[in-house]
Amino acid sequence: MTQLHDTNYRGFASDNYAGAHPEVLAAITEANGGHQVAYGEDVYTAKLQAVMKQHFGERAEAFPVFNGTGANVTALTSLLPRWGAVVATSTAHIHTDENGAPERISGLKLLTVHTPDGKLTPALIDEEAWGWGDEHRAQPLAVSITQTTELGTLYTVDEVRAIADHVHSRGMALHMDGARVSNAAAALGVGFREFTTDAGVDILSFGGTKNGLLYGEAVVVLNPDVSDGLIYLRKLNMQLASKMRFVSAQLIALLTDDLWRRSASHANDMAARLRGALEGVDGLTFTQRTQANAVFAVLPAGVADRLRQNFRFYDWNPATREVRWMTAFDTTEGDIDAFVAAVRAELGA
């Protein structure tokens, strides 16, 4: 097929815009050929279980799925009865960007809390964690946090542990939406286990697509005592891949030879380069800390639209002219420098 796009084009709208990492594509090729048993009874999915245990502990069990929404919905469904509710931030992806899938598919209730930086705390959780035994209220039985958050901020190991201890003391389970979990681990300078299994997270949506996979995520059960029925729920939620070996092979590649860290660290570094090059420029205000691969800023009226003629990115809040710039594993220093020059020119810097 004739190539239809300009491979030199770079945008800053989402790390989903990037293609697949060459090492991931090579893993797909290596997994191809011959026959393997379908629906997860293949050698690659078996190998993935061993790899996940290396990263998350011996009790970890991985369920490869197609996408992040599927991972979140399936994970949360496994934690809750029909009358259960989930406490999350008002900016959480499960609340703002999944088209009601948790409510429509799982029938669960989302209890959202406003936060200034996309992060929950024990005190904020308690704004909605109440009413147990009240037959008129959906029962808050789980909490969902996002690492890194939708606002690009980061939970420390101690912050996750404090939330987990608080949640468990109230008989609730803790889910982590890890769409950018690799960026978080790279930024924290630790492995995955330190801020998931060891910090008390019960179940994780492990992200791959935003860090170089062609497609594919995984639900990783860290505490089997609180999750039930995933072997059935994955199919029920239309997330059971028949040729699962190709999802598993990608995840194995990501988790081998530190590819996840190399890719995520680079994306984080490019965001830091972008932020650093624009610090102090008149007319531009940063709205959140840049802790991973996201930069949030407010621009003067009209500037964003003019920049978008050459660089795609999203308005985060059109009312306040807040924008979001994302970097990816394949963002180059040249990409950043070209964008910075365009922004500075628009602002007369």
Instruction: Enumerate domains of the chain plus CATH numbers.
Output: 21-254 (3.40.640.10), 259-346 (3.90.1150.10)
CB 151 within 8 A of CB 180: no
Q: What is the mean pLDDT of residues 154-180?
A: 98
| pLDDT given at position 48 | 98
Burial of 204: CB neighbours in 10 Å, binned 0-12, 13-18, 19+: buried
> Does 230 score more than 90 pLDDT?
yes
d(CA 258, CA 261): 5
Task: Please report, rounded to a whole number, the percentage of residues in the chain having pLDDT higher than 70.
Answer: 100
**pLDDT band for position 111 (cuts 50, 70, 90):** very high
Tell me the residue length of the chain: 349
**pLDDT band for position 4 (cuts 50, 70, 90):** very high
Task: Please report, rounded to a whole number, the percentage of residues in the chain having pLDDT higher than 90.
Answer: 98
Residues 6+ positions from 126 with CB-CB distance below 8 Å: none
Q: What is the mean pLDDT of residues 51-66?
A: 98
Q: What is the mean pLDDT of residues 149-169?
A: 98
Q: What is the mean pLDDT of residues 26-48?
A: 98
Which DSSP symbol is given to 193? G
Least confident of 1-5, 177-181, 199-203: 1-5
DSSP lists the bridge partners of residue 64 as 218
The amino acid that residue 238 corresponds to is M
| pLDDT given at position 51 | 98
d(CA 9, CA 235): 38
* Beta pairing class for 84-89 and 109-113: parallel
Which DSSP symbol is given to 64? E
Determine the 3-state secondary structure of 203 from DSSP: strand
The amino acid that residue 283 corresponds to is G
Q: Which two tokens stand for residue 223?
A: 């505490």
> Does 345 score more than 90 pLDDT?
yes
* Rg of the chain, C-alpha, whole Å: 20
CB 195 within 8 A of CB 185: yes
Q: What is the mean pLDDT of residues 43-63?
A: 98
The amino acid that residue 109 corresponds to is K
d(CA 27, CA 25): 5
| pLDDT given at position 11 | 92
> Does 192 score more than 80 pLDDT?
yes
Q: What is the mean pLDDT of residues 194-203?
A: 98
Cα angle, residue 344 at apex, residues 338 and 349 outer, rounded to 5° = 145
> Does 203 score more than 90 pLDDT?
yes
| pLDDT given at position 1 | 84
Answer with the residue of higher pLDDT: 8 or 284: 284
> Does 349 score more than 90 pLDDT?
no
Q: What is the mean pLDDT of residues 157-165?
A: 98
> Does 270 score more than 80 pLDDT?
yes
**pLDDT band for position 256 (cuts 50, 70, 90):** very high
Q: Which two tokens stand for residue 205?
A: 């949506």
| pLDDT given at position 254 | 98
